Chain A
């Protein structure tokens, strides 16, 4: 079968975050924070001064690191780099779009649901044209 990615096994994989201050602080309270010997952390705190380039770089970094298994990204931040998020299709790390205080979760914008809904809708449209 083509495009079958191997699932890496790990006993201590990290949860990365690209989110607003309150979400990041909350999850750090739950013990997910990690700073390695190169002083690289597993989170990016997004505020009004954070640029789209910084968010893109963080997303690319977290999705290519082998020690990260889940990337949590606030949905409103994901919307800023929607093309990058939608084009990501690896099984690990899993990208989860989470709500934030000011932006509730919208299933219509979730990249996984969009992927599934788009292809399913395309099939139903194609069968209707026959």
Chain B
């Protein structure tokens, strides 16, 4: 009888332990998710500040080059009164797409389209429109004629497409510089490149900002849930 009682007590104890474990598992999972949010939040804050330091350096370089260009070309040739006020669209723009995080929250993702090309932070590549326009010769230059097998044109055009895109980008860069005259100082060209680099950093900062705010919201929710449990 005593042995049976001991067995029953043992089984009851085992069942209670199992129930406790089942209750603890979701709490442990919640804690892991909370820790992950905190780590991602701290990483994003660190990256945000690091990117701003990089931006400050790039902008300082750009301002210095602009001032040097103003010194060599003359203040009357490099100032805001020459800015183009005619109707024109931006050559450099952004692509914005919603990015779903943790299947719950949407955050914006920004991609820079520098001079009409897409820049994803690692490498630049042409967007489909400019590629099609380039191959169709929209700029006015005729497509090269190829005698013989048509396969030859398919082999050659993919190699020519990047060169045509580079030419288009250079033309757009020159058009942007032409506001300050036909012959511009090399420092002005250098300033243009510095500010392009600054734009790339700014887009990374914008994406990091989105990540920081969404992870912060996640941490905030975790704190709210923890309060309710208490």
Question: Contacts of A7 on B, CB cut-off 8 Å?
Answer: 96-99, 106-108
**Which range contains the number of A residues in contact with the other chain?**
35 or more
Tell whether A64 is near chain B: CB-to-CB under 8 Å.
no
Question: Contacts of A94 on B, CB cut-off 8 Å?
Answer: 108, 110, 206, 209-210
Contact with A along B43-62 (1 / 0, CB 8 A): 00100110010011001001
Consensus secondary structure, chain B interface: helix
Q: Quick check: A91 and B195 within 8 Å, CB to CB?
A: no
Distance in Å from the Cβ of A3 to the closest Cβ of chain B? 10
Question: Contacts of A123 on B, CB cut-off 8 Å?
Answer: 223
Q: Provided the pairs A98-B55, A98-B59 are in contact, do residues A31 and B96 lie with their beta carbons within 8 angstroms?
A: no
**Which range contains the number of B residues in contact with the other chain?**
35 or more
Number of A-B contacts (CB under 8 A): 169
Question: Contacts of B107 on A, CB cut-off 8 Å?
Answer: 7, 91
Residue among B55, B96, B198 with the most chain A CB within 10 A? B96
Quick one: closest A residue to B91, CB to CB?
A31
Quick one: closest A residue to B80, CB to CB?
A21
Q: Quick check: A92 and B96 within 8 Å, CB to CB?
A: yes
Q: Quick check: B52 and A45 within 8 Å, CB to CB?
A: no
Question: Contacts of B209 on A, CB cut-off 8 Å?
Answer: 94, 96, 112
Residue among A4, A25, A29 with the most chain B CB within 10 A? A29
Question: Contacts of B194 on A, CB cut-off 8 Å?
Answer: 26
Q: Looking at the complex, which one of A6, A22, A33, A116 makes contact with B45 (CB distance below 8 Å)?
A: A116
Q: Provided the pairs A4-B106, A10-B96, A15-B94 are in contact, do residues A25 and B199 lie with their beta carbons within 8 angstroms?
A: no
In the assembled complex, the Cα of A18 lies from the Cα of B190 at a distance in Å of 23
In the assembled complex, the Cα of A29 lies from the Cα of B104 at a distance in Å of 40
Tell whether B165 is near chain A: CB-to-CB under 8 Å.
no
Tell whether A52 is near chain B: CB-to-CB under 8 Å.
no
Q: Quick check: B59 and A99 within 8 Å, CB to CB?
A: yes
In the assembled complex, the Cα of A18 lies from the Cα of B102 at a distance in Å of 34
Contact with A along B61-79 (1 / 0, CB 8 A): 0110011000000000011
Q: Provided the pairs A13-B93, A14-B93, A91-B210 are in contact, do residues A35 and B45 lie with their beta carbons within 8 angstroms?
A: no
Question: Contacts of B210 on A, CB cut-off 8 Å?
Answer: 91, 94
Interfacial residues of chain A within 45-94, with CB under 8 A of chain B in the complex: 45, 69-70, 72, 91-92, 94
Tell whether B122 is near chain A: CB-to-CB under 8 Å.
no
Q: Quick check: B52 and A107 within 8 Å, CB to CB?
A: yes
Chain B interface (Cβ < 8 Å from any Cβ of A) = 45, 48-49, 52, 55-56, 59, 62-63, 66-67, 78-80, 83-99, 104-108, 110, 113-115, 172-173, 176-177, 179, 188, 191-192, 194-196, 198-199, 202-203, 205-206, 209-210, 212-213, 216, 220, 223
6 example contacts (A-B, Cβ-Cβ < 8 A) are as follows A9-B98, A25-B79, A28-B176, A31-B176, A69-B96, A119-B220
